[in-house]
Amino acid sequence: MKLLQHARRSRFIRHNSIFFIGSAAVGALNYLYYPVMGRLLSPASFGEVQTLVSLFLQITIFLSVLGLVTINIVTNYRDDETRNVVILEFEKLALAFGIVLFISTAIFQNSLKHFLQFNSTLPFLLLMAALVVTVPLTFRGAFLRGQQRFGQASLVNILSAAGKLVLAAGFVVVGYGSAGAIGGLVGAQIVACVCAVRWATRSGLRVPATHRRWRLPNIRTVLPELRYGGIVLITSLAITLQYSIDVVVIKHYFDPRTAGLYAAVAGVARILFFLTASIALVLMPMARLDAPAADNRRLLVKSIGLLSAVGLPVLALFVWAPNQVVTLLMGHQYVGVSQLLPRLSIAIFIISLVNLLTTYYLALRRAAIALIAGLGALVTYVFIAVHHGSPQAIVNSLLFGSITMLVILGVWMVSQYKREFV
């Protein structure tokens, strides 16, 4: 009874519960997207969709970075007008970068088509259109999380995931193939963006009188945060590539059917990451620079416990019943690669834990975390570069690299803990 009463009063539990439920709904919708696409498309076309999704995750790393920077700004800035100016200037910078990427993709679309063995260039252009739309969505969603409005932030994500599923399925059914699957993403991001802009405005992200929407970004305004942004970029890049690079490597080295089969089992394994990612997102705005170190550490320990409670049962299921899980989620045609799921799931769980730990140190603005994450990721890339003769070899490389990343991070954390008491 006392434990239940404590849970009701705990802001940590309340925020995690709200955002976890929202994230679980988003995760379910996002992963329903894969079995639906897997059944509506041929394995080769599904491999194209998974490759595009992996590319989107990697390309939008800079948006994830600026989203985390935005959360940190909202958490630690005390003057609302200064806060809003900095956020909106970052948004203009991101939009400019997104437009440059769109133009570059239009110029080099044929090269991308041949390198990744696609049948058409249209999916690449749609992917960049989705990127441009995602810019304002990212900043407004991050602002809502920074204000600890996790309910509204969750609703925005649910709208995006549900819209992507419904629109993509409709476009594929009428014959647009992989381009239709990505077209659904574009439409969904537009709908979610409209809601996010409205709610963020009500929560305080208003355009100051001194801000000029249509001018080039004011670099001097955002310069104080760019160094921190660089730290977040390196760390986020290392984590995102860690759980997504395998799909792109498989797509490059193997035939389209093999890539499509592997993409299915990789999609299942990633459930572990996205199921627990909300815990890190809640931790970031709660760990404050001006809070006592002991309070921040308690938040970290609670978050690790929550991640284990959520992730370990799912991991056990994936390890003990891979055939049944893959058949249920993706269909019988993908069961031939289900033997890859146990080791791949262990690797993804380790990456989830690393993501939580690195997010904690990003919240506290520890610059060294970028070097630690980058070094750990580099070990993975070396493993993959040497051992990529089969999908099994790539999974083993990812697993060994992720273990190495966790060990390096753990040694550094112990040294930091000891230094606090010297």
| 422 pLDDT above the threshold of 50 | no
pLDDT, average across residues 381-401: 87
Residue 226, by phi and psi: left (phi above 0), alpha (psi -120 to 50) or beta?
alpha
Residue 349 or 220, more confident:
349
- pTM (whole model) above 0.85: no
Locate 398 and state its tokens. 């990812």
Reported confidence tier of residue 343, pLDDT bands at 50, 70, 90: very high
Type of residue at 320: W
DSSP notation for 87-113: HHHHHHHHHHHHHHHHHHHHHSHHHHH
Residue 196 or 118, more confident:
196
Query: For 174-178, 191-195, 396-400, which range has the lowest pLDDT when averaged over its residues?
Result: 174-178
* Sequence spans of domains, the chain: 10-420
pLDDT, average across residues 269-281: 86
Binning the chain into helix, strand and coil, the percentages to the nearest 5 are 85, 0, 15
Reported confidence tier of residue 211, pLDDT bands at 50, 70, 90: low
Closest CA to 352 of 271, 282, 283: 271
pLDDT, average across residues 41-62: 77
Write down the pLDDT at residue 207.
77
Mean pLDDT, the chain, integer: 84
For the chain, give the number of residues. Answer: 422
Reported confidence tier of residue 3, pLDDT bands at 50, 70, 90: very low
Query: For 43-57, 133-147, 291-305, which range has the lowest pLDDT when averaged over its residues?
Result: 43-57
| 219 pLDDT above the threshold of 80 | no
Locate 176 and state its tokens. 């647009």
Query: For 24-38, 251-265, 386-400, which range has the lowest pLDDT when averaged over its residues?
Result: 24-38
Write down the pLDDT at residue 285.
81
Query: For 45-59, 66-80, 224-238, which range has the lowest pLDDT when averaged over its residues?
Result: 45-59
Reported confidence tier of residue 400, pLDDT bands at 50, 70, 90: very high
Question: What's the pLDDT tens digit per position in 284-321?
Answer: 888 887 778 888 888 899 899 999 998 999 999 999 99
| 80 pLDDT above the threshold of 50 | yes
Residue 211 or 76, more confident:
76
Write down the pLDDT at residue 212.
65
Write down the pLDDT at residue 82.
83
Within 8 A by CB and 6+ apart from 70, the residues are: 87, 90, 139, 142, 143, 146
CB 260 within 8 A of CB 247: no
Locate 312 and state its tokens. 């370990």
**386-417 in b/e burial notation, b at 16+ Cβ within 10 A?**
eebeebeebbbbbbbbbbbbbebbeebbeeee
Type of residue at 181: A
Reported confidence tier of residue 192, pLDDT bands at 50, 70, 90: very high
